[in-house]
Amino acid sequence: MAEDFSVDQLLDKMSEAYEDAGKDTGQCNVLVIGKTGVGKSTLINAIFQSRLAETGVGYPVTQTIRRYRKKGCPITVYDTPGLELNPEQIQQVRLDVAELIETQRLQAAQEHIHVIWYCLEHEAGRFDEVEEKWLNKLQLQDVPIILVVTQTLTRKRSEFQVFLDSKNLPVSQVVAVLAQPKPIDDEYTIKAHGLDHLVEVTANLLSTEARKAFLREQSRNITLKAGEAFKYVTGYVAGSALVGASPIPFSDAPILVTMQTVMLANITAIFGLPFDRAFTSTVLSTIVGVGGVATVGRAIAANLLKMIPGAGTIVGGAISASTAAALTLALGLAYIESLKYYLKRKLEGHEIPLSELAKIILEQYKFYARTGQKTLKEEPITPPRKIDIE
């Protein structure tokens, strides 16, 4: 019989797993280039959860380039000054950029420049021949370049975008964005747009380790976070099936719960959320039910099993591979769906109480357990009116 554990012991296991996941996050380094006023800082702060481009906090790494990095954040942004300097200063910026790329390339892969965002302002509608020549030179340094057209008010392809596309520039893609809402008058504001697409295009150009870091820290494309998390869930589902390959006694259910705890910790890290001991305790209490128990491993397994059709009678018996896999998959999908909902509401300016989120997780688990659906939902979920554990 596997030893059961208390809530505190389970929380300790999850905290340890979360820390391990953080160590395996990787690193992503973004070089941002553009003229003064194109909105580089606004773009950076809109994409990432940590406000990296705070005024005055950058560390000078060359005569002209500043590095923005925060403790615990797997993203580093290198920012160039505006390009409307005199010819000598512009030449210095270009030399510094070339030197930075080559210097970082000589270091470990996590220190390389992984992608360049070359920013142009849409409203200015200008793309100089000098800039085109520089892009051609940048291409030779073998770093993917995305041409980001900032402050784009229209969602339709504009004449400027058509012009840029017609140039066949040496860039991976031209992406138009509006990084923050733009008030037009007292009654109408244009919503921010294009950021989720920029995130997707960037992620597709990154190495595995850099992509992992980028997806964790970006806050604009929740669907990509969910997809990355789902990859981890499938691995844990296979692992749980192996645990139950020879049906395990229900008394050994804590072994399965421990594996699922590690899975939830990894999903939390992928979504870029902090490990919150109080919240996790609330989730466990919601699953266990009213009254609580001294040890929770078997209680969690028992209540989760009750919601899987045909598995409720297992309590006291044995857990098969298929049941272990179904339980793990339903829990992983439910957790991902709930975090998707939480982050999307947060982007809209609504903070969901963690107690409500805990109930949403259980409600989503009930849906996946009872329907047997094996994929993430496409439609947004709605918060439950009430929670009832049958």
Domain containing residue 153: CATH number: 3.40.50.300
pLDDT score recorded for residue 293: 42
Q: Please check whether residue 15 lies inside any domain of the structure.
A: no
Q: What's the pLDDT band for 22 if we cut at 50, 70, 90?
A: confident
Q: What's the pLDDT band for 116 if we cut at 50, 70, 90?
A: very high
Report the range out of 32-41, 156-165, 196-205, 271-280 with the highest average pLDDT: 196-205
pLDDT score recorded for residue 81: 79
Contact between 264 and 279 (Cβ < 8 Å): no
**In the predicted model, is pLDDT for residue 362 greater than 60?**
yes
Instruction: Write the CB contacts of 14 (distance below 8 Å, at least 6 apart in sequence).
Output: 261, 262, 264, 265, 275, 280
Q: Do 118 and 39 share a structural domain?
A: yes
Q: Do 131 and 46 share a structural domain?
A: yes
Mean pLDDT of 124-143: 91
Q: Please check whether residue 16 lies inside any domain of the structure.
A: no
Q: Do 147 and 166 share a structural domain?
A: yes
pLDDT score recorded for residue 205: 98
Choose the final residue of a domain: 217, 241, 256.
Answer: 217
Q: Please check whether residue 233 lies inside any domain of the structure.
A: yes
Query: Which residue has 């805990």 as its token pair?
Result: 358
If one compares 28 and 313, the residue with the highest pLDDT of the two is 28
Mean pLDDT of 372-390: 63
> CA-CA distances (angstroms) from residue 252 to 5, 258, 296, 297?
12, 11, 12, 9
Q: Do 258 and 177 share a structural domain?
A: no
Q: Please check whether residue 388 lies inside any domain of the structure.
A: no
pLDDT score recorded for residue 272: 92
Q: Do 233 and 194 share a structural domain?
A: no
Q: Do 56 and 162 share a structural domain?
A: yes
**In the predicted model, is pLDDT for residue 62 greater than 60?**
no
Question: 278 by DSSP, 3-state: which?
Answer: helix
Q: Do 238 and 206 share a structural domain?
A: no
Q: Please check whether residue 199 lies inside any domain of the structure.
A: yes
**φ, ψ at 166 (rounded to 5°):** -70, -15
**φ, ψ at 158 (rounded to 5°):** -90, 175
Choose the final residue of a domain: 217, 243, 261.
Answer: 217
172-227 per-position pLDDT tens digit? 999 999 999 999 888 899 999 999 999 999 999 999 999 999 999 999 999 999 99
Between 123-137, 311-325, 370-384, the lowest mean confidence (pLDDT) is in 311-325
Q: pTM score, two decimals?
A: 0.86
Q: Do 68 and 55 share a structural domain?
A: yes
pLDDT score recorded for residue 129: 86
**In the predicted model, is pLDDT for residue 4 greater than 70?**
no
If one compares 92 and 211, the residue with the highest pLDDT of the two is 211
Query: What percentage of the chain reaches a pLDDT higher than 70?
Result: 81
Could you give the number of structural domains in the chain? 2
Q: Please check whether residue 2 lies inside any domain of the structure.
A: no
Q: Do 364 and 328 share a structural domain?
A: yes
pLDDT score recorded for residue 377: 87
**In the predicted model, is pLDDT for residue 290 greater than 50?**
no
Residue-range definition of the domain harbouring residue 98? 26-217
**In the predicted model, is pLDDT for residue 119 greater than 70?**
yes
Choose the final residue of a domain: 217, 246, 266.
Answer: 217
Q: Do 277 and 165 share a structural domain?
A: no
Mean pLDDT of 328-354: 92
Instruction: Write the CB contacts of 242 (distance below 8 Å, at least 6 apart in sequence).
Output: 321
Q: Are strands 318-319 and 248-249 parallel, antiparallel or unpaired?
A: antiparallel
Q: How far apart are CA 11 and CA 213, in angstroms?
A: 25
Q: Residue 367's Cα: distance from chain center in Å? A: 24
Q: How far apart are CA 319 and CA 246, in angstroms?
A: 9
Q: Please check whether residue 11 lies inside any domain of the structure.
A: no
Q: Do 152 and 124 share a structural domain?
A: yes
**In the predicted model, is pLDDT for residue 70 greater than 90?**
no
pLDDT score recorded for residue 360: 94
**In the predicted model, is pLDDT for residue 330 greater than 80?**
yes
Mean pLDDT of 72-79: 92
pLDDT score recorded for residue 385: 44
Q: Please check whether residue 3 lies inside any domain of the structure.
A: no
Query: What percentage of the chain reaches a pLDDT higher than 90?
Result: 50
Q: Which two tokens stand for residue 152?
A: 């784009």
pLDDT score recorded for residue 378: 75
pLDDT score recorded for residue 390: 38
Q: Do 313 and 193 share a structural domain?
A: no
* Closest C-alpha to 170, from 189, 146, 193: 146
